[in-house]
Structure 1
Amino acid sequence: MSLLILSAQDVNAITATFSSAELEALMASVFHHLSTGSDYALPHRTTIAMSHHTALFMPSWVKDVGTAIKVVSVPTSTDDKRGLPASTILMDEETGCVKAIVNASALTALRTAAVSVLATRLLLSKPPISLVAFGMGKQIEAHVDLHIRAFPSIKRCVIVNRSRNMHLENLLSELCRSHPLIAFKGLVADDTAEVRSAVSRASVICTATSSTHPLFPSEWVSPGTHLNLVGSFKLGMVEVDCDLIRRAGTIVVDSAEACAVEAGELIAASRRAGDMIEIGRLVEDRQGTSQGEIQMTKGDMTVFKSVGVGLQDVAIAQHVVSKAGSLAVGTIVENFHV
């Protein structure tokens, strides 16, 4: 049996062919599985301390999708700016052999952005016109690109960062090349007046930072705005204040169990699993397969909080591998298991 290896360049070539609707549908299926509580396995991740990294091993299985383990190395030094090395190993369900090794560095951002777009579609009451994004990493690049592709109504986008540097300039240049009809603008977080104006006019706000303090006060956010919060993943990390969380009423999340212990701003606002509803339940409701009436407390704006689940990783990696053959992309090692 052969082994398929997909490099970062291979993965980029494949994902460039994905439509936003295709990715939304993929994530809708994933979270439908999660909320029904069946046909998946999601063991807790294993952590190993290396010399200069913390290695995370995250296995998962989804019925009719596949089995995988994602390995991510998080640098222990804040001076390490090389990014997060990530790979996903996919198993063959029949033979039990490894069938593919996929560079997953860009896939985490893509699958996270895809579920944020799904949340925006499910929760926003009218077509978005203005998008504001806080951060400048791969997550923000994916969120901005996918939202613009998913919602042709978006006409302007503001990206807010702690400082104006070459990384921000390069991101803005790349987005301008990809979406020449959109009015892009970069702002520094310290420019309070301009940031406040941008936030108050936003239809959608996406945050993907490691902040330990709210990025903006609740009073800046206008009624009817939708927020996708994807940055915090542990106690002490917060991107918005407690008042904003309370304004939103029932918080929509990827996993209520995970967010109850990992979502810093929800913990700070004393939100428990019972105060949240999983996005998979909303997918069920849209498809007409919901078991019972969905109870949600309405606020004057909406919030989707994501900390990420392993089922997304197996689904996106399997989808990439399934496209590799028809696109003649990747390196095949023949007789790897002989």
Structure 2
Amino acid sequence: MTCRFYREQDVAALIDMATTIEVVEESFRQLGTGGAENVPRQRARAPGFILHGMHASAEYLGSAGWKMYSTVRTGAKFHVGIYDIESGQMIALIEADQLGQMRTAASSAVGARYLAKKPVTQLGLFGSGWQAEGQLTAMATEFPLTQAFVYSRDEGKRQEFAERMSDQLQIEVVPVHDPRQAVEDLPVVVTATTSKHPVFDGNLLAEGALVCAMGCNWAHKREIDVVTVRRADNWVCDSIEACRGEAGDLLLAEEEGYFDWSKGVSLSDVIAGNAIGRNNQDSIVVYKTVGLAIQDVALGTKFLQLAANNPEVGIDLPF
């Protein structure tokens, strides 16, 4: 058994968002029923450099693996390694920026599938970057969206984003100049920013709204304010264990006395039927994601299944 190396363009050619959403949903279900195990992110630092690592096993797929990525001032490099659990052989090394964007977005879409008040034809989006693009694509794949209201601090970027995504998704993407317009009266609000501070006023949330907060995975940062956390009736994490280590949105609210981890549940338990994710139609729900390696391993394994039918994709590595 050889190990093959795959580049970003290979992933983009073979994986679509609809497939990704179904793969990620099943990975959550397996976490909830014992068919998979996830180990949260750890970080090693040097001056100007951070190495981030996380890993998981997917017994239900016969695979396991890790995601490693480095960040420096000029950017990040992502890789996923996949192993066959029967032989212990590493079978793939995958460039994983595209893969990571898609599984992150799919997590929000799966969360909204189980937690949002239906129907969902409109949403608010904070951010106009790479991750925001994935988030909007996933939500438009999952729901019959007609409008999205997008706010980011840079007027030019949000205008360009709105024009590009309107054309790409064939929905009306409206750039707004006031954060209020991306929150009020909307059933879903998604935050996909790099902000260290809350990006909207939680008092503006409609009854029954779902907030998908995915941009922050550092304990000292938050995109949603204490008001949002306090107003929520349900708090759902992609993983309680992972969020307790790095979800600043909730950790800082806990420090201030507005959140208790005993009230939170993992999405895997909601999907497996072991926990309640939404009390009723008027409940405000917060879905907090920091990203899980099981999603990378599951999607990487699905990619390998598709690549097996495309032998021209990838190259063999000498180990």
Report the TM-score, using the length of structure 1 for normalisation. 0.84
**What SS is found at the alignment partner of 1:5?**
strand
Code of the residue aligned with 1:161 in structure 2: it is S
Counting aligned pairs with the same residue, the percent is: 25
Instruction: Note closer, same or farther for the CA distance 1:261–1:114 as it changes in structure 2 (3 Å cut).
Output: same
Aligned to 1:34: 31
- The aligned amino acid for 2:59 is K
- Does structure 2 conserve the Cα–Cα contact (< 8 Å) formed by 1:157 and 1:183? yes
The answer to whether the 8 Å contact 1:259/1:273 transfers is no
Residue 31 and residue 272 in structure 1: after superposition, are their counterparts in 2 closer, same or farther (change >3 A)? farther
Is residue 74 from structure 1 mapped to residue 82 from structure 2 by the alignment? no
| Distance (Å, rounded) in 2 between the aligned partners of 1:295 and 1:129 | 21
Residue 183 (str. 1) matches residue 156 (str. 2): no
SS of 2:308's partner is helix
Q: State which of 212, 221, 224 in structure 2 corresponds to 1:228.
A: 212
Deviations 1:162-183 (A, max 9, x none): 1123x44443343122222x11
Q: Which moved more, 1:5-14 or 1:321-330?
A: 321-330
* Residue 233 of structure 1, CA deviation: 1.5
Matched, 1:161 2:157: no
Residues 1:237 and 2:228 are matched in the alignment: no
Report SS of the residue matched to 1:320: helix
Following TM superposition, by how much is the alpha carbon of 1:139 offset from its aligned partner in structure 2, in angstroms? 1.5
- Cα offset for 1:161? 0.9
Q: Does 1:277 align with 2:260?
A: no
Q: Is the counterpart of residue 60 in structure 1 residue 56 in structure 2?
A: yes
Distance in 2 (alpha carbons) for counterparts of 1:173 and 1:157: 12
Take 1:197 and 1:172, find their aligned partners in 2: how far apart are those partners? 14
Distance 1:88 1:198 in 2: 34
Q: Structure 1 residue 268: deviation in Å?
A: 2.4
* 3-state SS, counterpart of residue 24 of structure 1: helix
Q: Is the aligned partner of 1:247 residue 2:217? A: no
One-letter amino acid matched to 1:316: L
Secondary structure of 1:318's counterpart equals: helix
The alpha-carbon deviation at position 135 of structure 1 amounts to: 1.1
Distance 2:137 2:295 in 1: 19
Inter-partner Cα distance in structure 1 for 2:17 and 2:40: 31
Residue 119 of structure 2: SS of its match in structure 1?
coil
CA-atom RMSD in angstroms: 2.3
Match of 2:10 in 1: 10
1:10-61 per-residue CA deviation (whole Å, 9 max, x = no partner) reads 111112xx352x333322222223334x344444545333564211232221
Please point out which of 128, 139, 142 is paired with 1:136: 128
Distance 2:41 2:183 in 1: 36
List gaps (5 residues or longer) in structure 1.
Answer: none
1:101 deviation in Å?
A: 1.1
Q: SS in structure 1 opposite 2:68?
A: strand
What is the deviation of 1:315?
0.8
Letter matched to residue 90 of structure 1: I
Quick one: which of 267, 271, 282 aligns to 2:251? 267
User: Residues of 2 paired with 1:70 and 1:328: CA distance?
Assistant: 24
Q: What is the TM-score with the length of structure 2 in the denominator? A: 0.89
Structure 2 residue identity aligned to 1:236: H
CA distance in structure 2 between the aligned counterparts of 1:47 and 1:246, rounded to whole angstroms: 30
SS at match of 2:294: helix
- Matches of 1:248 and 1:211, distance apart in 2: 21
Letter in 1 for 2:12: N
**Residue 257 (structure 1) shift:** 1.8
Mapped to 2, the partners of 1:44 and 1:240 lie a distance apart of 22
Contact map agreement 1:253 1:276 (CA 8 A) in 2: yes
Partner residue in 2 for 1:127? 119
Contact kept? 1:106, 1:138, Cα under 8 Å:
no
Distance 2:242 2:88 in 1: 29
Change (3 A) 1:317 1:218: same
Maintained 8 Å contact 2:189/2:212: yes
Matched, 1:305 2:284: no
**Corresponding position: 1:212 with 2:196:** yes
Partner residue of 1:198 out of 182, 190, 195: 182
- Helix, strand or coil: the match of 1:96? coil
Task: Tell me which of 162, 173, 176 is aligned to 1:172.
Answer: 162
| Distance verdict in 2 for CA 1:232–1:295, change over 3 Å | closer
CA distance in 1, matches of 2:66, 2:235: 29
| Separation (CA, whole Å) in 1 of partners of 2:46 and 2:165 | 36
Q: 1:329, 1:171 → 2: CA distance? A: 34
